[in-house]
Amino acid sequence: MVTKLKNNLIIKNLNLKQFLNDGSCEAEYLGNRLRVFGGIAEEIVDVEVVGKDVDLICNVINVIKSSKYRIKNKCKYFLKCSGCQLQHIRYEEQLEIKKQFVIKELEGINKNIAKKIKDVVPSAKKYNYRNHARFSVSKSKNYLGNSGFINRWTRKLINIEKCVIMNEKINVKKSELVGHMEGMSQYSVRVSVKDDSFLIQPKFNDLKFTGQKFYNEKFNNKKIQISSPSFFQVNIEQAEKMGEIITEICSLSGKEIILDAYSGVGTFSLLLSNQAKKIYAIESSYSSIEDAKINLNNFNNVELIKGEVENITDHTFKENIDIAILDPSRKGVHFEALKWVINLSPSRIIYVSCNVSSFKNDMRVLETSYEIDKIIPLDMFPQTKHVECIVNLKKVTS
């Protein structure tokens, strides 16, 4: 029998079970399945019910039996803003937890998948790594002019002074904007890690340094332009590691033809262009394509194609594709696009996944012609549940 539980209920002496892939720990109480944030597997804790999804959502408020992996969280807003899920755990254990996330998610397609999953590549920066933040603006009389993040479960705005995973330049810009947000509901701040370039949108009427159209960044020592609507990785140092790993996996001789799908502002094409014979880069975002034109201006062997990958499946190439790089959004690759890539028959596919669940679904289509050679997880987002994976797929030979 399930007893209905209400928000703000305190549950004492709760035994925590395994980690779940959202960064919570599983628990049970009076027939209810709980997802407990701020805990560690096998701990005994007191919790408060803070919301409901499919399960009841709880936050740890007191630790009775502590794990050896527990540390003091650096942020005073931990669990309040819901942005970080693992900040209370030693970093080395965070990496192991994320590796286990990947293994558990992919065991359904291959029982022996663990042998092909490498250790998670750690981030050089554990804090202050994010170069992009989107803040919501407070309308409260007590906090008028301040800003912060919306709690995922309560939907309440948590006003913050600074965020410990944001680049310190963002925290400085945020403090400069206090009192200038009248009439706004949101704003975003992007900063370059390598120089003093930054971008703040939208334009603040009384501030001259806001409303820029783009900013500049250096990616593996190459200067690139990133416009306001364009996507770019928020952890630049780890993105550079990703580029190095992909370059190593490709191991180009100068004769290869590459398909760079979901190419963004052209970062992978930029890295590989001086080692490949030809690159076809596909991107649907107008701003990203325009950025890529500037970023790839000196490389005549890169052809930019604007459109959704699934909508250009009638496109023909003069040469056979040797390597396909797929770097989709969290929803994964469209079914028609997957079939098209399979028909192109590249010898290898390098799939960059920011959502292991989506990759698992896509792999069920790809496995008819491709097998997983290895999976390299990367920690792009320390202190959070998120993990990215570079998957090297090889064509199945009959």
Tell me: do 107 and 146 sit in the same domain: no
Q: Where are the alpha helices (DSSP H) in 71-124?
A: 91-106
Tell me: do 262 and 348 sit in the same domain: yes
Query: Looking at residue 371, which CATH number applies to its domain?
Result: 3.40.50.150
82: in domain: no
Could you tell me which residue, 14 or 140, shows the higher pLDDT? 14
Q: Which of 212, 227, 242 is the last residue of a domain?
A: 227
Our answer to whether residue 389 is catalytic in this structure is no
Tell me: do 28 and 58 sit in the same domain: yes
Q: Looking up tokens 């097998």, which residue turns up?
A: 371
Contact 249, 393 (CB under 8 A): no
Q: Which of 161, 193, 227 is the last residue of a domain?
A: 227
75: in domain: no
Tell me: do 117 and 140 sit in the same domain: no
pLDDT of 395 > 90? The answer is yes
Query: Residue 397's pLDDT band (boundaries 50, 70, 90)?
Result: confident
Region 239-264 average pLDDT: 97
Contact 70, 40 (CB under 8 A): yes
88: in domain: no
Region 164-173 average pLDDT: 97
Tell me: do 284 and 340 sit in the same domain: yes
Kindly report the pTM of this predicted structure: 0.94
Tell me: do 275 and 366 sit in the same domain: yes
Tell me: do 33 and 143 sit in the same domain: no
Which CA distances in Å does 216 have to 195, 228, 272, 292? 8, 11, 20, 13
Residues paired with residue 325 on neighbouring β-strands, in sequence order? 260, 350
Report pLDDT digits (tens) over 312-367.
888 888 899 999 999 999 999 999 999 999 999 999 999 999 999 999 999 999 99
Residue-level pLDDT at 77 = 97
Query: Looking at residue 64, which CATH number applies to its domain?
Result: 2.40.50.140
- Give the domain extent around 347: 95-125+234-395
117: in domain: yes
117: left (phi over 0), alpha (psi -120 to 50) or beta: beta
Tell me: do 333 and 215 sit in the same domain: no
80: in domain: no
Tell me: do 119 and 260 sit in the same domain: yes
Catalytic residue among 81, 84, 163, 354: 354
Q: Following CA atoms 37, 40, 42, 44 in sequence, which dihedral angle do they give, to the nearest 10 degrees? A: -60
Residue-level pLDDT at 4 = 80
How many domains are there within the chain?
3
Tell me: do 329 and 361 sit in the same domain: yes
Residue-level pLDDT at 347 = 97
Average pLDDT of the chain, as a whole number: 94
Q: What distance in Å separates the CA atoms of residue 14 and residue 28, rounded to the nearest whole number? A: 8
- Strand 302-306 to 278-283 pairing: parallel
Compute how many other C-beta atoms are within 10 angstroms of the C-beta atom of residue 211: 14
Report pLDDT digits (tens) over 120-129.
999 999 999 9
pLDDT of 144 > 70? The answer is no
Residue-level pLDDT at 2 = 67
